[in-house]
Amino acid sequence: MLYGSDVAPRINDYGIIGDCRSAALISRHGSLDWLCWPWFDSPSLFAAILDTEKGGFWRIAPAGAYSATRRYLPGTNVLETEFHTKTGKLRVLDCMPVYDMAYEQQHMLPDREVLRIVECTEGEVQLDGVYAPAPKYGKCSCRWTHSRALGIRVEFRGGAVWFRSDLDWHFHDHHALCNEVLRAGQRKYCSMVFMEHGPAVLSPLGEWSDASLDQTVGWWKRWSDRCVYKGPFREQVVRSALALKLLNFAPSGAIVAAPTASLPERVGGDLNWDYRYCWLRDASMTATAFLGLGYQDEAEAFIEWLLHSTHLTQPRLSVMYSVYGLRAQRERELKDWKGYHSSRPVRVGNGARDQLQLDVYGEVISAAAQLDESSKSMDRASAKVLRGLGKYVEKHWMLPDKGIWEPRTPDMHHTHSKLMCWVAMNNLLHLHDSGLLKDLNYDEVRQTRDQIRREIETRGWNEELQTYTAIYDGREVDSSLLLLPKFEFAPADSPRLQSTYARIREKLGAGPGLLYRYRDDLSPGEGAFGICCFWAAEFLALGGGSLHEAEQEFRRVLQYANDLGLYGEEIDPATGDILGNFPQGFTHIGLINTALTIADRQARESKPEKAA
């Protein structure tokens, strides 16, 4: 077997590189096991993480036994892996080059490129290199050609990838191998470029590649230096911002939930979904994160995308869109694929695209309101969109829906969905009060808002159990109830929220710092939910506990990141392993927003001391 193993490494063992248009996962063993080109939701070129035989991969590692350490170059998304062998040390730098505008205008650059620089830093190391792409989920026929001067070309319907290297790669049928021995001081280059519509731009390697690396490092450093956050846990916050930026599709401003598909929420199970789309559910928290860190441009681009790319379906909003505002692809299964550690079926496309989720309206309106309040202005088109969304909520808030967790069960009245409808109405009223949103039917919106509140306080509250509940007239709790104070529905230190928090801890606690999102027959084996763990810490920081308690809780959650500071969707309570699609924007957004709330609380608590 070319890959050397039946199964891919643990999700924790992966790092991510990207160019704000697409992203690749590279394992601790130097294997690029996931990449979809040209866009996040395009068919895969490498997908060994889901099937080591059919998926395709590109490995650069030492032959024989080794240990590996890795990190990101400070302030960047350039991944550095150091391999230690008996005979020497090997350093591999991986990136997808990004350039500033002036450099782009002066140089002819590839549309997409993965650049891997291999350097022997001590002794000598024999390489174990395998280049085995499998375009379009390994399902299309492709034509391989090899030219000594130009490199290896793999051509298929819809594009071509060129692979060039100054290492000695041996061309075989549908793969290439490299067993060259590198000695201390030797530095070699591998470049893979893609072109969909047009002749490829081939990388000349050597100094050119070093210049590309310098440009990339500089670009990311400049970007991370723009972060204005000076509060506690800055290192983790900046890493989360960098991870989030990798999920940002720069041409449109959209942000995908994760760059991967079908990494399981339960290893060996069937909770395997495609997350390479933009969920409107994440909108408000994403805006908070970007605005809080000082990334005004990203927040503006994202909200512009939210308001204008969704035009085709407005006033109804879909749950998710592609990076260009199109419907997510129809869900289908790659039937003959093994799946990550036998987690089948492998699904691409997403069937949740047709669900009704009322919470998205509150998310979108809240996100737009944050930006407008920050910039103190609102253009006519945005105002029209917000009024349209408001009217839709007025007419539909009383309907049952799928709710934030998108279960594939009948619609129900989810308390969180009603909360977000209340948030929608409340934000419209605030925008009107601040003079930004004119021509609002104020009285009707206020009546609707108050009616939703009354309903949540009666049907979303269980008097016997003294807790808010996941669904109306229910008995179960759900971690999304922790958001009630965040959206200013009620103060975190109110008796109702204090008892709800205690109930959530009791019923959904999964270990130190861990919370399940919910518990029912559908979820056995599912991990603790990353963002819910951060919501708990944020609840405490919002007044649900002391600052010290909030910081302690936050620290507990931080320990579940992998060695690169990355989080997936879920955490296995038994092993601490990452589960689900990776890295997950939602979880990183949770980290950033919790840190912002803790910093805010710190600042508020230190003011009286200073005054004293």
Partner 1 sequence: MMQIHWGHWIFWGFVASLALVITESIVQGLGFTRLNLPLILGAAFTPDRDRARALGIGLHVLLGWAFSFFYVIAMNILGGPNWYRGAIIGLCHALFICVIGWQALPGIHPRMASETHGPTSTRMLEPPGFMGRNYGVSTPLAVFMTHAIFGAILGVFYH
The verdict on 204 binding partner 1 (CB under 8 A) reads: yes
Q: Which of 26, 35, 134, 160 binds partner 1 (CB under 8 A)?
A: 160
CA dist., res. 425 & res. 397, Å (int): 10
CA dist., res. 409 & res. 506, Å (int): 25
Q: Which of 82, 155, 180, 300 binds partner 1 (CB under 8 A)?
A: 155
Q: For residue 388, what is the DSSP state? A: H
Whichever of 187 and 221 has its CB closer to partner 1, that residue is 187
Which CA distances in Å does 214 have to 202, 211, 221, 410?
18, 5, 10, 53
The verdict on 147 binding partner 1 (CB under 8 A) reads: yes
Contact status, residue 176 vs residue 152, Cβ threshold 8 Å: yes
The verdict on 150 binding partner 1 (CB under 8 A) reads: yes
Whichever of 165 and 248 has its CB closer to partner 1, that residue is 165
Whichever of 203 and 318 has its CB closer to partner 1, that residue is 203
CA dist., res. 236 & res. 552, Å (int): 15
Interface residues for partner 1 in 87-106 (CB under 8 A)?
104-106
CA dist., res. 101 & res. 96, Å (int): 16
Q: Which of 1, 65, 67, 108 binds partner 1 (CB under 8 A)?
A: 108
Q: Which stretch binds partner 1 (CB under 8 A): 8-16, 72-80, 123-131, 200-208?
A: 200-208
Whichever of 109 and 368 has its CB closer to partner 1, that residue is 109
Q: Which of 1, 67, 141, 149 binds partner 1 (CB under 8 A)?
A: 149
The verdict on 141 binding partner 1 (CB under 8 A) reads: no
The verdict on 158 binding partner 1 (CB under 8 A) reads: yes
Annotate each residue in 548-587 with x if it binds partner 1 (CB under 8 A) or - if it does not, as one string: ----------------------------------------
CB of 247 to partner 1, least distance (A): 24
Whichever of 151 and 513 has its CB closer to partner 1, that residue is 151
Annotate each residue in 370-389 with x if it binds partner 1 (CB under 8 A) or - if it does not, as one string: --------------------
CB of 164 to partner 1, least distance (A): 8
Residue-wise burial string across 326-358, b where 16 or more C-beta atoms lie within 10 A, e elsewhere = ebbbebeebeebbbbbebbebbbbbebbebbbb
CB of 149 to partner 1, least distance (A): 4
CB of 193 to partner 1, least distance (A): 9
Whichever of 30 and 110 has its CB closer to partner 1, that residue is 110
Which CA distances in Å does 208 have to 96, 107, 182, 242?
14, 11, 21, 25
CA dist., res. 348 & res. 325, Å (int): 18
Question: Locate tokens 């808002």: which residue?
Answer: 449
Which CA distances in Å does 374 have to 575, 590, 597?
42, 21, 17
Which CA distances in Å does 40 have to 22, 51, 270, 351?
5, 19, 22, 18
Largest CA distance in the chain: 77
Beta-carbon-side half-sphere exposure of residue 595 (alpha carbons within 13 Å): 27
H or E stretch including 146? strand 143-147
Whichever of 149 and 611 has its CB closer to partner 1, that residue is 149
* Count of residues interacting with partner 1 (CB under 8 A): 31
Contact status, residue 164 vs residue 147, Cβ threshold 8 Å: no
Q: Which of 198, 495, 524, 608 binds partner 1 (CB under 8 A)?
A: 198
Burial class (CB in 10 A: 0-12, 13-18, 19+), 181: middle
Question: What contacts 452, CB < 8 A, 6 or more positions away?
Answer: 397, 418, 421, 422, 425
CA dist., res. 322 & res. 256, Å (int): 8
Q: Which stretch binds partner 1 (CB under 8 A): 50-58, 159-167, 229-237, 490-498?
A: 159-167
Contact status, residue 343 vs residue 267, Cβ threshold 8 Å: yes
Nearest to 58 by CA among 66, 70, 46: 46
Whichever of 63 and 211 has its CB closer to partner 1, that residue is 211
Whichever of 109 and 299 has its CB closer to partner 1, that residue is 109
Q: Which stretch binds partner 1 (CB under 8 A): 160-168, 327-335, 402-410, 451-459?
A: 160-168
The verdict on 199 binding partner 1 (CB under 8 A) reads: yes
Nearest to 476 by CA among 402, 424, 416, 423: 416
CB of 43 to partner 1, least distance (A): 13
Q: Which stretch binds partner 1 (CB under 8 A): 11-19, 53-61, 202-210, 364-372?
A: 202-210
Whichever of 148 and 335 has its CB closer to partner 1, that residue is 148
Q: Which stretch binds partner 1 (CB under 8 A): 15-23, 118-126, 147-155, 599-607?
A: 147-155
CA dist., res. 290 & res. 311, Å (int): 23
Q: Which of 7, 63, 181, 201 binds partner 1 (CB under 8 A)?
A: 201
The verdict on 196 binding partner 1 (CB under 8 A) reads: yes
Whichever of 41 and 406 has its CB closer to partner 1, that residue is 41
CB of 100 to partner 1, least distance (A): 13
CA dist., res. 542 & res. 549, Å (int): 11
CB of 185 to partner 1, least distance (A): 23
Dihedral sign for Cα atoms in the order 280, 284, 290, 295: positive
Whichever of 214 and 457 has its CB closer to partner 1, that residue is 214
Whichever of 190 and 358 has its CB closer to partner 1, that residue is 190
The verdict on 153 binding partner 1 (CB under 8 A) reads: yes
Q: Which stretch binds partner 1 (CB under 8 A): 18-26, 143-151, 392-400, 477-485?
A: 143-151
CB of 198 to partner 1, least distance (A): 4
Residue 168, number of CB atoms within 10 A of its CB: 13
Interface residues for partner 1 in 164-193 (CB under 8 A)?
164
Contact status, residue 566 vs residue 15, Cβ threshold 8 Å: yes
H or E stretch including 92? strand 88-95
Q: Which of 173, 207, 439, 464 binds partner 1 (CB under 8 A)?
A: 207
Question: What contacts 468, CB < 8 A, 6 or more positions away?
Answer: 415, 456, 460, 461, 462, 477, 481, 484, 496, 497, 500
CB of 202 to partner 1, least distance (A): 4
Residues at the contact surface with partner 1, assessed by CB under 8 A = 104-109, 143, 147, 149-151, 153, 155, 157-160, 162, 164, 195-204, 207-208
